[in-house]
């Protein structure tokens, strides 16, 4: 009776492929998330409500919360129902003057086409 030979090489190739797939899935989830920056000169209590659960964070001046709300959430400032903001899960937002402002979609930095920072071919 012949049995298929499974070599260590074949097993390690499968493991590498599986780790690559996991990295892509995790990277895609991390890419689709909210970044929240406190641009005020005082700290703020930020409550994140996601999937019916809430989590409080104290955000110091200049501090950044990254990788939050990958599926969207509601953010409240300083326990106030009047300061409630609904986010889709791919925004970059900041706290300024006690309010949350939309900075834009979270876009990874990419090098300029010229590669030398000027974007022009010489």
Could you state, in order of their start, the residue ranges of all structural domains in the chain?
A: 30-105
Q: Which of 34, 46, 105 is nearest to 70 (CA)?
A: 34
Residue indicated by tokens 């990277």: 27
Specify the DSSP element, H or E, that contains 11. Answer: helix 8-31
**What pTM was estimated for this model as a whole?**
0.61
pLDDT per residue, tens digit, the chain (122 aa), is 555 555 555 545 555 555 554 444 444 444 579 999 999 999 999 999 999 999 999 999 999 999 999 999 999 999 988 879 999 999 999 999 999 999 987 555 556 566 555 544 44
CATH of domain 30-105: 2.60.40
Confidence (pLDDT) at 110: 59
Confidence (pLDDT) at 38: 98
Residue 25: phi and psi, rounded to 5, are -65, -45
CA 43 centroid distance within chain: 21
**β-strand pairing of 34-38 with 91-96:** parallel
Confidence (pLDDT) at 69: 94
Whether the Cβ atoms of residue 39 and residue 94 lie closer than 8 Å to each other: yes
Confidence (pLDDT) at 82: 83
- The residues with which 36 forms a beta bridge, in sequence order, are 65, 93
């Amino acid at each position: 009776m012949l049995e298929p030979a499974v070599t260590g090489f074949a097993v390690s190739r499968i493991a590498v492929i599986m780790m690559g797939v996991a990295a892509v899935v995790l990277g895609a989830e991390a890419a689709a998330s909210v970044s929240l920056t406190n641009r005020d000169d005082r700290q703020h209590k930020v409550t994140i409500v996601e999937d019916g659960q809430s989590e409080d964070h104290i955000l110091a001046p200049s501090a950044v919360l990254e990788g939050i709300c990958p599926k969207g959430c509601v953010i409240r400032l300083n326990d106030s129902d009047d300061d409630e903001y609904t986010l889709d899960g791919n925004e970059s937002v900041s706290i300024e003057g006690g309010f949350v402002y939309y900075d834009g979609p979270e876009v990874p930095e990419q090098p300029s086409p010229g590669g030398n920072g000027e974007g022009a071919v010489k």
